[in-house]
Amino acid sequence: MRKITLTLFSISVLSVALFAQEKKKTDFLPLAGEFSIGFDAVPALDYAMDKTRVFSNTAPSSAAGMFSYQTPLTLVGRYMITDDQALRGKVRLGVSSSSQFSEEAKVNGQPDEKVENTEKTNSFVLGVELGKQHYLSSRRLRGFWGYEGILNLASVDNKNYEYGNDLRVYGEDGSRSLSSSNGLNIGIGARGFVGAEYFFANRMSLSVEYGYALNYNIQTNGTIVEEQWTENTKELKEVESDNFKKARGLNLDVDNASGSITLSFYL
C-alpha cells in the first residue's frame, strides 16, 4: 500500500512538473485577441553585433549583409485571430524634403549685391501590405506560412526651382527649368511567405521569413516645366513637356533572397 501511494504521489508530482513546464513554454506565446507591434530588427542587430564583434574583429560588424529586404522604419502589426492564426499588416510612410541654395550676382544691381537661387527636392513613398499568417506549432520556436496583398505608391526626386533674377533682365533669349516631376509609380502585388519565429522572452520574438511575389507596376508620365523668354517679341511663357513616358511591368520572383528579420512585441 505504501509503495502504491508513493508511486501515485510520484506520478502526480511528475504530472504537475510537466504541466508547469509546458505552461512555462506556452506562456511565452501570444493568445487569441492579442496583437503585436514590430519593426525591422537589423538596426538592433547591428548595434549588438558591433558591440560583440560576432562576425568581425573590426567595427562595424553588420547584420545588413545577411538580412536586407525589409525597409527600415516599416511597421509590422499582427492581430491573433486564434492561438495559431493571425491577421498581419505592414505600413511604411516616407516623406522627404530638402533645399539647396546658390548665389549669383544681381543683374543691374550693386557690384557686391547677390541674389539667391533655390532648388527644392521632394519625395513621397507609401507601402501597405495586408495578409494572413498561419503558425505550424505551439512551441517557442515555431514555423509559419502565409500570404498578403501589396500596394506601393512612390513619387521621388521631384524638383522645384526659384530664382533671384527675373529671366527678362538678362536682355537675351533664354530658358530655365521651373519644375520637374518623375510621375507616380504604382505597384500592386500578391506575396506568399514562409518563415520561423522564436520567442526569446515573454511576448517578445524575432522572426525570419522569405517570400515569393507577383508584382504589377505602373509608372505615370513625368513632366518638366520651363519658362522661356524671347527678347525680340518680349514674350515670357511657360512650356510643359514630358519627362519620360509612362510604363508598365510585371514581375514574378523571390523578393528577399537574403531574408528579412523582424523584432515584435505582443500586447
Could you report the per-residue pLDDT of 179-216, keeping only the tens digit for each?
Answer: 999 999 999 999 999 999 999 998 899 999 989 999 99
Candidates 141, 126, 120, 110; CA nearest to 29 is 141
In whole angstroms, give the CA distance from residue 150 to residue 191.
7
C-alpha cell of 152? Answer: 506601393
Q: What is the pLDDT of residue 91?
A: 92
Q: What is the pLDDT of residue 50?
A: 56
In whole angstroms, give the CA distance from residue 90 to residue 84.
19
Q: Which residues pair with 37 in a beta bridge?
A: 77, 265
**12 pLDDT exceeds 50?**
no
**Which residue reads 522569405 in cell numbers?**
210
Q: Which residues pair with 188 in a beta bridge?
A: 151, 216
**117 pLDDT exceeds 60?**
yes
In whole angstroms, give the CA distance from residue 51 to residue 42.
14
Burial of 38 (0-12, 13-18, 19+ CB in 10 A): buried
Reported pTM: 0.73
Please write the tens of the pLDDT for every residue from 227-239: 999 999 999 999 9
Beta strand ranges found along the chain (DSSP E): 35-40, 75-82, 85-105, 114-135, 141-162, 174-181, 185-201, 204-219, 222-230, 235-244, 247-254, 260-266
C-alpha cell of 216? Answer: 504589377
What's the pLDDT band for 26 if we cut at 50, 70, 90? Answer: low
Of 11-20, 100-109, 148-157, 219-228, minimum mean pLDDT range: 11-20
Q: What is the pLDDT of residue 229?
A: 95
| Average pLDDT estimate for 6-28 | 45
Of 9-23, 93-107, 145-159, 180-194, minimum mean pLDDT range: 9-23
C-alpha cell of 251? Answer: 514581375
**17 pLDDT exceeds 50?**
no
**Which residue reads 527636392 in cell numbers?**
121
Q: What is the pLDDT of residue 136?
A: 93
Q: What is the pLDDT of residue 260?
A: 78
Q: What is the pLDDT of residue 45?
A: 60
Burial of 261 (0-12, 13-18, 19+ CB in 10 A): buried
**6 pLDDT exceeds 80?**
no
In percent, the amount of the chain with pLDDT more than 70 equals: 77
Q: What is the pLDDT of residue 255?
A: 77
> 264, 36 in Cβ contact below 8 A?
yes
In whole angstroms, give the CA distance from residue 115 to residue 100.
14
> Can you give the C-alpha Rg of the chain in angstroms?
30
**169 pLDDT exceeds 60?**
yes
**Mean pLDDT for all residues in the chain:** 82
Distances (CA, A) of 52 to 48, 58, 208: 6, 10, 21
**69 pLDDT exceeds 70?**
no
Q: What is the pLDDT of residue 123?
A: 94
Angle (CA) 219 220 224, round 5°: 120
